[in-house]
């Protein structure tokens, strides 16, 4: 079961690149489980100011979803339920394209940890 794990640096007012773009998992087969976890180092800012959008093909699974604050000393990963933002199974009968982006609506650059588990 593959895991794509990244640390993104997103400038003030910017939206990240598509997380899975350029990876082997930019397109997945029907019936593929996708679990998305994310956390932001807010440095004293409300976590709601950093959001995630998640679509597969043309279906929205998250729109402007608030990213949780990274808790110091707490492990981050796809299996930590406090950080799981979405857990779904693709249903398209053809190759599915999961698109995951993050938007920073704060006045400073933010670091976002993201882990995407792909598989059964």
Instruction: Dump pLDDT digits (tens) for 35-94.
Output: 999 999 866 555 568 999 999 998 999 999 999 888 877 777 666 667 899 999 998 788
Domains of the chain: 3-118 (2.60.120)
Alpha carbon of 3 to those of 27, 34, 78, 89, 90: distances in Å?
14, 10, 8, 15, 16
* Between 32 and 46, the higher pLDDT residue: 32
Q: What's the number of CA atoms in the CB half-sphere (13 Å) around residue 2?
A: 12
Q: What global pTM score does this model have?
A: 0.90
Select from 22, 38, 45 the least CA-distant residue to 105: 45
């Amino acid at each position: 079961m593959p895991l794509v794990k990244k640390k993104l640096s997103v400038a003030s007012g910017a939206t990240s690149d598509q997380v899975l773009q350029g990876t082997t998992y930019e397109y997945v087969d029907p019936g593929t489980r996708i679990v998305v976890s994310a956390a932001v180092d807010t440095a004293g800012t409300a976590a709601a100011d950093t959001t995630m959008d998640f679509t597969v093909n043309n279906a929205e699974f998250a729109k402007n979803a608030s990213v949780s604050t990274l808790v110091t000393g707490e492990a981050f990963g796809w299996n930590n339920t406090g950080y799981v933002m979405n857990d779904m199974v693709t249903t398209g009968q053809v190759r599915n394209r999961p698109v995951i982006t993050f938007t920073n609506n704060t006045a400073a650059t933010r670091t976002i940890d993201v882990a995407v588990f792909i598989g059964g």
